[in-house]
Amino acid sequence: MVCLGGGGDPLDREKQVDEYELRRVLHGMLEGFDIRPPFDAAVLCERLAWARGREIRLIARDLPSPAVFGCLVPMLTKDLIIYPEQAAQPHRQHIIFHEVVHLIRRHVSTGGAGELLMCGQLPDGCAGAEHRQTLYDHWKEWEAEAGATMLTEWSKKRSRLILTRNHLSRPGNFHLR
């Protein structure tokens, strides 16, 4: 099994976690991947793909409704994350993080089951409306959105320059943490 760090089994499927546990799992994953802020979603996808042994392909598309902000499409040997091509960079990052949390938490079957996850809200009568979900309607959507918010926050953090008394007495000697 692939260990994503953080202890326990973060890949347990169909088991809801609370905010504390979600934070612990995601933080453990970042540590396990040696990812430090600032980072972007593409780097996280790269490391996650390596750990899972499955390609994650990020694809920009004109999605069927403005209310659909992202799709996760598991295929036989890879997973597609589709985001709206018109999405601005910060929103795009958040969308990708959201779909990544669905993957990490094993919210969909992979390996060619053909289960498609559309995230957002579709108006009645729109193609795909049978998959309609409103954020927070479902615990999986809650986990994905809460997790995406945590990853977005962490991704923007800046490394802090730490100066100690010892360092101050020796010009040029400092380290980043």
User: Could you count the other beta carbons within 10 Å of the beta carbon of residue 133?
Assistant: 16
Q: Which phi and psi angles does 59 have, rounded to 5°? A: -130, 130
Does residue 144 touch Zn ion according to CB under 5 A? yes
What is the distance between the terminal CA atoms of the chain, rounded to a whole angstrom? 31
Does residue 68 touch Zn ion according to CB under 5 A? no
Residue 58 CB burial class (10 angstroms; 0-12, 13-18, ≥19): middle
Closest distance of CB 131 from Zn ion, Å: 11
Alpha carbon distance 41, 35 (integer Å)? 11
Q: Which phi and psi angles does 108 have, rounded to 5°? A: -130, 155
Nearest residue to Zn ion, by Cβ distance, number only: 119
Closest distance of CB 119 from Zn ion, Å: 3
Closest to 141 measured CA to CA, from 22, 12, 60: 22
Q: Which is nearer to Zn ion, 4 or 96 (CB)?
A: 96
Binding mask 100-119 for Zn ion (x = CB under 5 A): -------------------x
Q: Which phi and psi angles does 160 have, rounded to 5°? A: -100, 140
Q: Which of residues 118-137 bind Zn ion (CB under 5 A)?
A: 119
Closest distance of CB 144 from Zn ion, Å: 4
Does residue 45 touch Zn ion according to CB under 5 A? no
Closest distance of CB 149 from Zn ion, Å: 13
Q: Which is nearer to Zn ion, 79 or 141 (CB)?
A: 141
Does residue 26 touch Zn ion according to CB under 5 A? no
Kindly state the number of chain residues that form the binding site for Zn ion, as judged by CB under 5 A.
3
Q: Where do contacts with Zn ion occur on this chain (CB under 5 A)?
A: 119, 141, 144
